[in-house]
Structures are given as C-alpha cells and as structure tokens.
Structure 1
C-alpha cells in the first residue's frame, strides 16, 4: 500500500509536467500554423505538412491501440485549446498542429482538405486530421 502511494505521488508531478509541455507545444503550434497560413505563401511551406489527402494502408496497420488513444487525446486537447486562443485557430491550423505533434511522437497521420459550394462566399473549405480511420481534429464539420 505504501509503495502504491509513493509511486502515485512521483508520477503525478511528472504527468503534470508532460501535460504542461504538451499544452505549450499545442499553443505554439497553433500560433506558428496561423502565422504561416496568414503571412507566408502556401507553396513556400507546404513541404512542412508532408503529403495531403493521401493515405498509406501500411500506416493504418502499424497503429497500436495506445497510439490511436494518444492521437485522440491530443486531438481533444488541440480543439479545447484552440477555442481559448485570442487568434483564430480553426480547422486548418488545428490539423497542421496535430500533424506536427503526432509526427514527433511517431504516429502517422493524414491531413485531408475538402471543399463545397457556399451560397455566401462561393466556396467553403474544411481540413481534418485522420489517424488510421479515426478523425482526430475537424470531425464535427467532417
């Protein structure tokens, strides 16, 4: 019993630190993605994203349940933090940020971009991030 209490108290600060670092990583990623989208021509930074709208079947087979859960947790955190920012962090910055974060953790993902005719603006675009068959960000509009 004492060993469980001791282990729990040691792990909690480490887990809290990891969560704080992930939050900072997400916020900085959202900010950086937003600046790229707003100020830099897409052709100059599109290589940072990797392939868009392509899905490798071998990537889907390599995913473990732990990786899928981690991607889902990161996606929820991205959406939650994106809503709290003072800058506009909509679907595309969220997908970009998620892709970068998951790539650093060795989890393959795909950004997909869709469009449809919108009566008010002419065209409406949406981006979402998938890990395997699971949509990690952008699923409400997906």
Structure 2
C-alpha cells in the first residue's frame, strides 16, 4: 500500500470515527443499526467462510488505519465506535465482516464488561480479545445474509 493510499484511508477513518462516536454516545441503536447491516446467527463467529479468502491484507490495513485515526482524534474512543468505523469501511469496499457486541462472562461489572470487535474470515481485525471470555449479544454482518433478522420498527 502506498503512503498516499494509507493517508487517504486514515483520513476516511478520521471522518467516520467522530460520527460513529456521536451515534454510539447519543443516538439509540435502533435508529442507525441499519447502517451496519443485518443481525445474523452467533454461529457464524470464528467461521473462516464469513470472509473473502483471496486477500486479507486490505481488511488488516483498514483496521490499522482506524487505530491510527483513533490515536489522532482529540477525544477518547472505545471499542464500539472503532468497530463501527471499521465495519462501515469494510462494507463500503464489499468485504464481508461481522461486528460483534458482547458482554464479559460473569457477574462483576467492570470497565470492560461490554466489548465490540470486528472479524472477517475468522480473524479479529479490531477489538482483539480472548473470545471465550465474552458472550455475544449481537452479531451484525455487513453483507446481505440469508436468515438475517429484520430490524423491528
């Protein structure tokens, strides 16, 4: 990836990250969840068939650009705005991905009780964690998926 291409991707992430944070912090999910895709079965998690096998470099590069943008913005971003930003960027490029919103196993609320990550081809791209420590609450695909649940109105 060229330096200019990398900078453009960082600029894209810089434009999307504040929007994602605003939506996560201020707008109920039911009003913008459709921009992410369709809710799908948790059985798709960790499944290599959920991502395009041909090239995993671009999804990883996009994740790095989102992390770079998060380091630049003058405000703190948690895992969900970062995951939403990456999910949008992957969707725009037609790269299948899953956005996972999960809660930590156990009863003790902690700062990281809820967590979000994005995966494609069974690989976590952003929000790296020990998957077994979390219980998925919602899995959203950025592709049209058979058996996807429709948003309730």
Cα deviation, 1:84-128, whole Å, max 9, x if unaligned, reads: 32222211011111111011111000011111233457x810000
2:21 — aligned with what? Answer: 34
In 2, the alpha carbon distance for the partners of 1:135 and 1:58 equals 11
Q: Return the alpha-carbon distance in structure 2 between the equivalents of residues 73 and 56 of structure 1.
A: 21
User: Which residue of structure 1 aligns with residue 67 of structure 2?
Assistant: 79
Rg (Cα) greater in structure: 1
- Structure 2 unaligned blocks of 5 or more: 132-153
Select between 57-66 and 78-87 the one with higher mean Cα deviation.
57-66
Structure with the higher helix share, 1 or 2: 1
1:138 aligns with 2:127: yes
Could you say what the CA RMSD is over the residues aligned between the two structures, in angstroms?
Answer: 2.8
TM-score scaled to structure 2, two decimals? 0.70
Task: Pick closer, same or farther for the CA change 1:27–1:62 going to 2, 3 Å.
Answer: closer
Q: So what's the TM-score if we normalise by structure 1? A: 0.75
Higher relative contact order (CA 8 A, sep 6+): 2
Write the distance in 1 (CA, Å) between the matches of 2:85 and 2:124: 14
Residue 127, structure 1, aligned to residue 116, structure 2: yes
- Count of residue pairs the alignment pairs up: 127
Q: Which structure 2 residues correspond to residues 9-20 of structure 1 after superposition, within 5 A?
A: 15-20=2-7
Q: 1:93 to 1:52 in 2, by over 3 A?
A: farther
Q: Does 1:21 align with 2:11?
A: no
* Structure-2 separation of matches of 1:32 and 1:74: 17
Return the alpha-carbon distance in structure 2 between the equivalents of residues 58 and 120 of structure 1. 29
